[in-house]
Amino acid sequence: MDQCAVDELYEAFAVLAGSDPDHCSYPKGYMKRQAVFACNTCVQSGMDPAGVCLACANTCHDGHDICELYTKRNFRCDCGNEKFPGFTCKLHADKEGQNVKNSYNHNYFGRFCSCDRPYPDEDDQVNEEMIQCIVCEDWFHEKHLQAPAVDCEALMEMICARCMTRAPFLWTYADHFAVSPVNKEGLCKEQTDAGVMSDEKGKCFHTSVHDVSSASLCSQPEEATSGAAGRMSSPDPVTDLQLSKATQCVLNELKAKDAARARAGSVFWPYFWRAKLCTCTDCKRMYVKTGVPFLLDESDTLLAHEEKAKAETLTSEDLLLSCISSLNHVQQLEIIHQYNELKHELREFLQQSADQRQDITPEAFREFLEELQTRKRRRLN
C-alpha cells in the first residue's frame, strides 16, 4: 500500500472517528459536524432528500445501497422519520417528522459537482479526485472549478464560484488573502523567507503583501473621555481596544487597498484566512444575511473536526484496559499477552505485504485470520 493510500485511510478514520458507530446521533440534535450518509435503497429519485448518521448506516441500513457524503455541518439524523415511509429507526425510533434545519443538495441522491454526475462515474474513465466547497459542501471536479486548482498541503479550503457570487464580500478578502496558481511555488516552499511562514505543524503558507495586522486595523487615535466626575480622563486601554474591534471594519480597510484580481471561478484559501474576517457588528449581520456565519467559528473547519476526533478517540490499549478492569490480575495478564501476540502477528503480516508490494485483499486477510486460528488450536492441543 503506497503512502497516498495510507494517508487516505488515516483521513477516513479521522472523519469517522468523530461519529458514534453504535448510537444514533439524533438525541444530540443538530451536530456541528458529523459523517453523513444517504441510502439510495430507501430514498430514491423523486422523493425528499434525507441523510443518516454513521450508526444508522451501519445498523438500520446494513446491506442497502449507501452513499457516503463525508461530513456535513449542523445536521440531524433523518433515519426513520417521515422521509422513510414505513421504515423505523432501530436505534432511536422516537423522532420528529422532519428536521427542518437540515440543508440538502443533490449529493443526497449520489450526484455531485456542477456537472451533476455520480461519483465514481462509470462514464468517466479518469475519475479524478473531487474537492469540497466549504460553504455549500458540494464536491467538484477540478476541471469544473472554473479556476486551476492549487496543489499545496497548506491550502486547506476552497469556495466554489457559485458561493463566491452568493457572498460577494468574499472577493475583497480573496484580493488580499486567497492563493492563486501563480504563487503556489512560493506558498509551498519550506524555507523561511519574507513571504513564507510556518505554523506549529510545520506547514507552510504564503503571507500576502496586503496583509493587514490586527494592530493596525484596530488602532484608533487616542481621544479623551469624560470621567465619572465630568472631567476629561484618559481612555482605558482594554475598553478602547474592545471598542476599536467592535467599530473598526476590516472589510472597509481592505476595500481601500488596491489589490483587485479577476473575480471569477472558485477560490482557494490558505489555512489562516478565516482569522482575517472582520467581526464588527455590520459584518456579522452580513454573514448571517448571506448564510455564512459559520465562517467565524474556528471549530467549523474539517481540520478542527479531525483533530478533535483524534484527541477524543481512545487508543486500542486504552480501550483494552477499560474492558478488562473488572478481571483479576492473572486474567488481565493473559488477555494482554494474547493481545500483544495478535498485534505482533498482524504487524508481521502487514509488513510482509508491504515488502512484497502486495495489496491486502479481503481474501488474503481472511486466510491470515484462519491461519492464526489454526496455530492457536495446535498450541492448545
Q: Residue 43 is placed in which grid cell?
A: 430514498
Instruction: Name the residue range of residue 264's domain.
Output: 135-182+250-300
Residue 60: pLDDT band by 50, 70, 90 thresholds? very high
* Interval 92-119 mean pLDDT: 94
The residue among 26, 294, 266, 304 whose CA lies nearest residue 146 is 266
The pTM of this model reads 0.66
Query: Is 181's pLDDT higher than 60?
Result: no
287 within domain boundaries: yes
Residue 155 pLDDT: 58
pLDDT of residue 381: 58
Shared domain check, 165 and 26: no
Q: In the predicted model, is pLDDT for residue 324 greater than 70?
A: yes
Burial (CB count <10 Å: 0-12, 13-18, 19+), residue 74: middle
| Cα-based angle 28, 30, 31 (whole degrees, multiple of 5) | 70
Spatial CB neighbours of 299, under 8 Å, sequence gap ≥ 6: 32, 305, 308
Least confident stretch, 70-84, 106-120, 124-138, 221-235: 221-235
Cell (9 digits) for 18? 468523530
- Is there a single domain that holds both residue 163 and residue 259? yes
The verdict on residue 169 lying in a domain is yes
Band (215; pLDDT cuts 50, 70, 90): very low
pLDDT band for position 216 (cuts 50, 70, 90): very low
43 and 101 together in one domain: yes
- My answer on whether 262 and 171 are in the same domain is yes
Sign of the alpha-carbon torsion through 304, 305, 306, 312: positive
Count how many Cα atoms sit within 13 Å of the Cα of residue 151 in the half-sphere of its side chain: 3
CA–CA separation, 168 and 159 (whole Å): 12
Describe the crossing of helices 3-17 and 302-312 by its angle, rounded to 10 degrees: 80
Which residue's entry shows cell 481474501? 363
Quote the crossing angle between the two packed helices 316-323 and 329-355, to the nearest 10°.
Answer: 150
Residues 41 and 79 in one domain: yes
Assigned domain for 215 exists: no
Same domain (yes/no): 20, 99 = yes
Same domain as 168, residue 109: no
Q: How confident is the model at residue 373 (pLDDT cuts 50, 70, 90)?
A: confident
Question: Residue 15 — pLDDT band, cuts 50, 70, 90?
Answer: low
Give the pLDDT score at 304.
82
Q: Same structural domain for residues 111 and 140?
A: no
66 assigned to some structural domain: yes
- Lowest average pLDDT, out of 28-32, 194-198, 232-236, goes to 194-198
Examine residue 190 and state whether it is found in any structural domain, yes or no: no
The residue among 265, 300, 335 that closes a domain is 300
Question: Residue 184: pLDDT band by 50, 70, 90 thresholds?
Answer: very low
Q: Number of folded domains in the chain?
A: 3
Assess whether pLDDT exceeds 80 at residue 308: no
Grid cell at residue 337: 499477552
Residue 195 has pLDDT above 80, yes or no: no
Q: Is the pLDDT of residue 97 over 90?
A: yes
Residue 143 belongs to some domain of the structure: yes
**Grid cell locating 342:** 495478535
157 and 281, same domain (yes or no): yes
**81 with 158, same domain?**
no
- Comparing 133-137, 299-303, 327-331, the range with the smallest average pLDDT is 327-331
Q: Is the preceding peptide bond at 270 cis, omega within 30 degrees of 0?
A: no
Residues 6 or more apart whose Cβ sits within 8 Å of residue 222: 234, 235, 240
Residue scoring higher pLDDT (95 or 339):
95
pLDDT of amino acid 154 = 58
Q: C-alpha distances in angstroms, 317 versus 10, 73, 244, 271, 374?
A: 18, 31, 51, 33, 26
Q: 65 and 178 share a domain? A: no
Same domain (yes/no): 256, 169: yes
pLDDT of residue 317: 63
Burial class of residue 259, CB neighbours in 10 A (0-12, 13-18, 19+)? middle
358 falls within a domain:
yes
The answer to whether residue 61 sits within a structural domain is yes
The C-alpha cell at 282 is 455590520
Residue 196 has what pLDDT? 34
* Dihedral Cα 209, 214, 218, 219, nearest 10 deg: -70
Predicted pLDDT at 190: 36
